[in-house]
Amino acid sequence: MRGLRRRLAAAAPDAAWRAAAALPLETLPPFETFAAYYAQGGELDPLPLAERLVAQGRTAALPVALSRGGPLEFRRWTIGEGLSPDVAGVPAPPAEAPALTPELIVAPLLAFDRRGGRLGQGGGHYDRTLANLRAAGRVFVVGFAYSGQELDAIPMEPHDQRLDAVLTEAGYMQVGRD
């Protein structure tokens, strides 16, 4: 899927802008704070979506890996500010940025299915983080991907956290749960 994602990125240079425009804000649960991610390795870039949400008055955050095996922390992010590598080497807001709890999470993925299955990078950071956030309250998780990353079925283990919706350049879909 990593190779496919790179080919999709080269074939659809405006995909991130089309996906950002396709998000139906009126159908989402209410939220003030959202988390995006720093796109890497051909991932669909959520920057256009983040810019749209910030323009609507929402507060942005980015994930920060504090340890290899732990959950993520989300820190306030101002688009355009300097970022520093976290423990996983991903650019993230600095330590002095306030920690936030997002109500909406835009999650990266390698592949997805229509039942909310998500194949991530394999580190388990998002699964641990989403399990903690869901135990503490409501969070709505939108997978952000190219439409060509859809598979018929993603193998799921008991600890895997499902998506609530998926947003691609082809549109927005709420996904079912088993």
Pairing mode of beta strands 118-119, 165-168 = unpaired
C-beta separation of 8 from 36 below 8 A? no
The CATH number of 2-174 is: 3.40.50.10420
Nearest by Cα to 67 from 109, 129, 136, 144: 129
Give ∠ CA 84-88-91 in degrees, rounded to 5. 25
The pLDDT score that the predictor gives to residue 6 is 60
Domain ranges (residues) in the chain: 2-174
Residue 162 pLDDT exceeds 80: yes
Structure tokens at 60: 């942005």
Integer Cα distance of 92 and 88 in angstroms: 10
Hey, how many other C-beta atoms are within 10 angstroms of the C-beta on 168?
A: 23
The pLDDT score that the predictor gives to residue 8 is 67
Please give the single-letter amino acid code of residue 94.
P
pLDDT tens-digit readout, 10-68: 567 799 999 999 999 999 999 999 999 999 888 899 999 999 999 999 999 999 999 98
The pLDDT score that the predictor gives to residue 4 is 66
Structure tokens at 25: 């804000």
